[in-house]
Amino acid sequence: MFCDDCKQKPATVHLTQMANGKKIDMHLCTECAAQKGFLLFDNNKKFSIPNFLGSFLGSDFNLQDVHSLASTSNCSNCGMSFADIRQTGKLGCSECYKAFDTELEPTLRRIHGNSNHVGKIPLRGGERVFLQKEMGELKLELQQAIKAENYEQAAEIRDKIKELEKVINEEGSR
Amino acid sequence: MSDSDLLNSNFVAWMDSREGSESDIVISSRIRLARNLQFITFPYFMNAESGNKSMQEIKDAWKNSESELLSAMDLIAFDQTSSLDRQILVEKHLISPEHGLSEEAYRGLLVSKDGSIAIMINEEDHLRIQCLLPGLQMEKCYELAQEIDDELEKSLDFAFDEHRGYLTSCPTNVGTGMRASVMLHLPGIAISGQRTRIFQNINQLGMTVRGLYGEGTEIVGNYVQLSNQITLGQTENEIITNLGIISRQIVEQEKMLRRNLQEEMKYQLEDRVGRAYGILTNARVMSSNEALALLSDVRLGVDLGIIKGISSLVINQLVVAIKPAHLQRRSGGEMEAFIRDVKRAEVIKEILLKSSK
């Protein structure tokens, strides 16, 4: 995402202004924001919800962080950097989750106490996920069967796993 | 357009207290699913181009859907509405206060005729599918939300990751993208000074407590919104079951405290209810917070049979009818705060006296 003003540099300052009940969103680069006098919070850090969430996403936000993190990689789909995400507490697009997977892991654990989804899977595009879930369940069953020394059943489950593996590989190569 | 009913009347589906269980204490149940379109910039960072693209895709999915549920809904684009209309939708709990401030063509609401299903478009997420029903009926809300979700998913590519689940703008919603909540009216707990004790450990149970209008709003009129905080690592059913169990426990506490009040403080209780009714039917100037506090007492009187003839549906409607935008719609124009307080007193008196006849 580029600066609304100069349209050249990446936008690192995101502002929402309320005037006469109207909401105005601005996305500026540090330079343009400084020119417009919007960088007052640099040495006057106030508590706000985005900052609060931002601190969930790593250390407390300040401008030094923006400068030091600006060079690290950005999301290839929307151009958002992790500094942007930290600052606003919001991700830019679906692909940010892949781009910043490692950075997000501790955050998700802190918020949810967990970082793996176990709920609903969309019907469309979710076939592969669904098969893998089934695979996980079969493997668990296999372990239990072996533990119980029920080898006949274990052999049956093993065959099912092999079949399922084939299906998953075909899905993956499609 | 049928949305005119939602914009002009005092009624919306969740108010109908004849439906749903425990509706003397549980005002309404809500399920909200956050869904996003793959690759399109999330609404917080959206410009007109990405906004229009997302709006168009959602519009197409709605128009081309064969589901009766979806095709019976109306689309309200926010460039076509006045800020008063949007405020009315906020007061009816159909959109969030933040969404009510938006006026771009690419932000809006898909809403069923009775307001039981309301899909916010390009709020914090591309889609927020909400189902809102009266009383405690979490499961039915979830079924409805599922139906809409499955139907939209037929033509929309939702952002989903096998490890992270449904991907959302804010990491606090990722996973199921689901927020389940109940609106509780808890005068018994409040009068006995038990609120802190009952709610102090609620966070440890993965739940959170808010006021009438959600995030960042204070508790007024003894209305408390209870919802799940965790969306990742729990299934939808676990979330609903947990919320159901905790809600029922709170309902039991409230019932017990109400019984105690009736048995041990009969006169004080009836005095309090009677005074509230007296003020509400005689006052000439009434602020919103005062009205909500007194209506809470009257509602308790209705629930316990101290006041007869008034239904809780009327109280549910009144709580919304006395909000600024609804008052302004009723009197046909903008009003300054003091005039609103006068109008509010008038409306309360009129509605209460009419319905208790």
CATH number of the CATH domain containing B239: 3.30.590.10
Q: What is the DSSP letter of B205?
A: G
Token output for B163: 């490890």
Co-location of B187 and B335 in the same domain:
no
Contact A136, A118 (CB under 8 A): no
Domain count, chain B: 2
Calpha distance B148→B158 (Å, rounded)? 13
Co-location of B84 and B196 in the same domain:
yes
Q: Using CB atoms, pick whichever of A1, A95, A119 lies closest to residue B175.
A: A119
Residue B51, chain A, CB below 8 Å: the answer is no
Calpha distance B251→B37 (Å, rounded)? 39
Q: Which of B37, B39, B44 to mutate to test the interface with A (most CBs of A within 10 A)?
A: B44
Co-location of B218 and B74 in the same domain:
yes
Contact A131, B162 (CB under 8 A): no
Quote the pLDDT of residue A46.
Answer: 43
> Which residues of B, range 275-334, sit inside 8 Å of A by Cβ?
none
> Which residues of B, range 112-171, sit inside 8 Å of A by Cβ?
124, 149-150, 153-154, 157-171
Co-location of B206 and B283 in the same domain:
no
User: Who's near B341: CB < 8 A, 6+ residues apart?
Assistant: B285, B286, B287
Co-location of B240 and B291 in the same domain:
no
- pLDDT tens for the 357 residues of chain B, in order: 345 688 888 899 999 988 888 999 999 999 999 999 999 999 999 999 999 999 999 999 999 999 999 999 999 999 999 999 999 999 999 999 999 999 999 999 999 999 999 999 999 999 999 999 999 999 999 999 999 999 999 999 999 998 999 999 999 999 999 999 999 999 999 998 888 888 888 888 889 988 776 666 667 889 999 999 999 999 999 999 999 999 999 999 999 999 999 999 999 999 999 999 999 999 999 999 999 999 999 999 999 999 999 999 999 999 999 999 999 999 888 889 999 999 999 999 999 999 876
Co-location of B105 and B244 in the same domain:
yes
| Domain end (from B256, B285, B306) | B256
Co-location of B189 and B289 in the same domain:
no
- The closest alpha carbon to B182, from B157, B202, B210, belongs to B210
When mean pLDDT is compared across A26-30, A68-72, B73-77, B353-357, the lowest value belongs to A68-72
| Domain end (from B231, B256, B281) | B256
Co-location of B180 and B205 in the same domain:
yes
Contact B180, B246 (CB under 8 A): no
Interface contact B45-A94, CB threshold 8 A: no
Quote the pLDDT of residue A62.
Answer: 43
- The closest alpha carbon to B223, from B296, B130, B311, belongs to B296
Quote the pLDDT of residue B184.
Answer: 95
Q: Using CA of residue A67, residue A68, residue A71, residue A75, what is the dihedral sign?
A: negative
Co-location of B233 and B312 in the same domain:
no
Interface contact B231-A129, CB threshold 8 A: no
Quote the pLDDT of residue A40.
Answer: 42
Contact B238, B336 (CB under 8 A): no
Co-location of B118 and B238 in the same domain:
yes
| Domain end (from B256, B285, B316) | B256
Residue B307 domain boundaries = 265-355
Interface contact A1-B41, CB threshold 8 A: yes
Co-location of B246 and B276 in the same domain:
no
Torsion angle, alpha carbons of B261, B265, B271, B274, to 10: 30
Co-location of B195 and B145 in the same domain:
yes
